[in-house]
């Protein structure tokens, strides 16, 4: 006996149950002639889901709504299904990644996409927040997938089905190659999943978005015309009275970053970045000397950072991805900062240490608030009157090796 899924045919939430059905051998059919906006408002549908949302699965025992719950139900109809793994911990991890797919991936794609499609009001700050949170989530997913083909175990589970369907909305509608290239393991995972035979039966040929949708603006409703009246002789108007005109409110100026309000500094950050980039030889004599000649201790401050959990850095490429993700998320401070991050050691656990130059005398508050990685490091202000600290800073800028008696695995620059 087939189960009936009430939903449109191109709903990524409906795809979850349909793909799960392909893996379990359960018959799930889309309800015929379903029309969104009509079928989901009928009395019969509202008995199944009082708020009229789709999808809804009609079963002999009664209806089930919410897409993840439907997918779980379908996955468990076959006792031999491996969609929940083979152990209790596998089950927990499947549930964990399903929640992550919904709360971290799907929710933040929606924050970015739905306002642009005109479903909700577009607020630039809300979009910026959604994109930053999505990048954070994709970076975490990318790190996990760097050493895993599937989310749980060594085969497809329900977690992969839910994650792929949620990523499908982003890849197909708004996440262009320019955006996803920073998450190569997520890219590899997504294209592997959508080309699995059971996924392809449901999704068909998947193509990545080539552009970010333009912001849909609601058109103003035309004013209702008043019925025409017989013309009356107009009373003379006072000379100073002018016809009323509707004026658009002038856009409010974007608030300045507090760092822009600091007194001017003799150090021009871009000049230092150019010197760093263009110095190909005699680095100590040219670039390092140039840095200390330019450095303004009143307008800028230097900070050492040390990763708090170095004992966890047991895999080299995962450690390097972690540092790369940190630098990516620091992009919001590019105008006000320069940084060097060193990954130290020839064998695990690897140490991660850094040197950062920030505008102002403290680490900028917006950086501490917006970049969650900051709390993963211990931060110590450099005392440039201490020659040992000054020399340590110089060695970090020039990627000196060995550094503090150990080999450098890698050195990354933020400029």
277 and 378 both lie in a single domain: yes
29: in domain: yes
The CATH number for 309's domain is 3.30.70.1010
63 and 97 both lie in a single domain: no
Q: Which of 359, 246, 237, 221 is nearest to 303 (CA)?
A: 359
Given phi > 0 = left and psi -120 to 50 = alpha, else beta, which region is 153?
A: left
Q: Give the model's pLDDT for residue 236.
A: 53
Which residues of the chain, if any, have pLDDT below 50? 219-223, 238-250
Q: Which of 15, 308, 61, 55 is nearest to 162 (CA)?
A: 15
Q: Give the model's pLDDT for residue 233.
A: 53
Q: Give the model's pLDDT for residue 239.
A: 46
The predicted model scores a pTM of 0.55
The CATH number for 114's domain is 1.20.1050.10
Last residue of a domain, one of 182, 203, 224: 203
273: in domain: yes
Last residue of a domain, one of 135, 170, 203: 203
184 and 296 both lie in a single domain: no
The CATH number for 42's domain is 3.40.30.10
Distance of CA 18 to the CA centre of its chain: 27
> For the stretch 105-117, what's the b/e string if a residue is b when 16 or more beta carbons lie within 10 angstroms of its beta carbon?
bbebbbbbbebbe
310 and 188 both lie in a single domain: no
Cβ(81)–Cβ(27) below 8 Å:
no
Last residue of a domain, one of 42, 76, 110: 76
Only one residue has tokens 């799930």, namely 28
232: in domain: no
380 and 334 both lie in a single domain: yes
Q: Give the model's pLDDT for residue 166.
A: 97
268 and 386 both lie in a single domain: yes
- As beta bridge partners, residue 381 has 303
291: in domain: yes
Cβ(313)–Cβ(350) below 8 Å:
yes
Which helix (DSSP H) or strand (DSSP E) does residue 100 occupy? Answer: helix 88-100
Number of domains in the chain: 3
252: in domain: no
279 and 347 both lie in a single domain: yes
Only one residue has tokens 């994650």, namely 163
Structural domain containing residue 325: 261-414
Cβ(146)–Cβ(80) below 8 Å:
no
Cβ(19)–Cβ(70) below 8 Å:
no
Q: Give the model's pLDDT for residue 186.
A: 96
Give the pLDDT confidence of 248-292 residue by residue, as tens digits.
444 555 567 889 889 999 999 999 999 999 998 899 999 999 999
Distance CA 142, CA 322 (A): 10
User: Long-range contacts: 274-279, Cβ < 8 Å, 24+?
Assistant: 276/338, 276/397, 276/413, 276/415, 277/415
Cβ(52)–Cβ(45) below 8 Å:
yes
214: in domain: no
266 and 404 both lie in a single domain: yes
Angle CA 234–235–241, to nearest 5? 105
Distance CA 267, CA 298 (A): 10
219: in domain: no
Distance of CA 137 to the CA centre of its chain: 5
306 and 366 both lie in a single domain: yes
Tell me the two tokens of residue 39: 């079928």
């Amino acid at each position: 006996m087939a189960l009936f899924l009430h939903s449109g045919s191109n709903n990524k939430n409906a795809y979850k149950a349909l793909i799960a059905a392909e893996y379990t051998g359960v018959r799930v059919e889309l309800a015929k002639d379903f029309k969104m906006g009509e079928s989901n408002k009928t009395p019969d549908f509202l008995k199944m889901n009082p708020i009229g949302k789709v999808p809804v699965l009609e079963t002999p025992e009664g209806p089930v709504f919410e897409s993840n719950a439907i997918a779980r139900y379908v996955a468990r109809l076959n006792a031999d299904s491996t969609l929940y793994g083979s152990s209790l911990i596998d089950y927990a991890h499947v549930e964990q990644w399903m929640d992550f797919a919904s709360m971290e991936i799907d929710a933040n794609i929606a924050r970015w996409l739905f306002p642009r499609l005109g479903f909700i009001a577009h607020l630039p700050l809300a979009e910026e927040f959604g994109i930053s949170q999505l990048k954070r989530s994709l970076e975490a997913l990318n790190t996990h997938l760097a050493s895993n083909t599937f989310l749980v175990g060594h085969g497809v589970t329900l977690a992969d089905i839910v994650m792929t369907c949620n990523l499908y909305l982003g890849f197909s509608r708004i996440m262009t190659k320019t955006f996803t290239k920073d998450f190569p393991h997520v890219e590899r995972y997504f294209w592997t999943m959508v080309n699995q035979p059971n996924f392809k039966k449901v999704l068909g040929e998947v193509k990545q978005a080539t552009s970010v949708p333009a912001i849909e603006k609601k058109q103003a409703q035309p004013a209702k015309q008043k019925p025409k009246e017989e013309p009356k002789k107009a009373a003379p108007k006072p000379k100073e009275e002018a016809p009323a005109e509707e004026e658009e409110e002038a856009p409010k100026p974007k608030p300045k970053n507090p760092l822009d309000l600091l007194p001017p500094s003799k150090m021009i950050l871009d000049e230092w970045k150019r010197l760093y980039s263009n110095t190909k030889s005699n680095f100590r004599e040219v670039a390092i000397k140039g840095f200390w000649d330019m450095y303004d201790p009143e307008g800028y401050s230097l900070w050492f950072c040390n990763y708090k959990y170095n004992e966890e850095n047991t895999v080299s490429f995962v450690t390097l991805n972690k540092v790369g993700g940190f630098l990516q998320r620091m992009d919001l401070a590019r105008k006000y900062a320069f940084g060097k991050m060193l990954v130290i050691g020839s064998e695990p656990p690897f140490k991660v240490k850094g040197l950062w130059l920030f505008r102002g005398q403290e680490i900028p508050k917006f950086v501490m608030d917006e970049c969650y990685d900051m709390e993963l490091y211990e931060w110590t202000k450099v005392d440039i009157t201490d020659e040992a600290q000054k020399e340590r800073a110089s060695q970090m800028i020039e990627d000196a090796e060995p550094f503090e008696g150990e080999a450098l695995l890698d050195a990354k620059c933020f400029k």
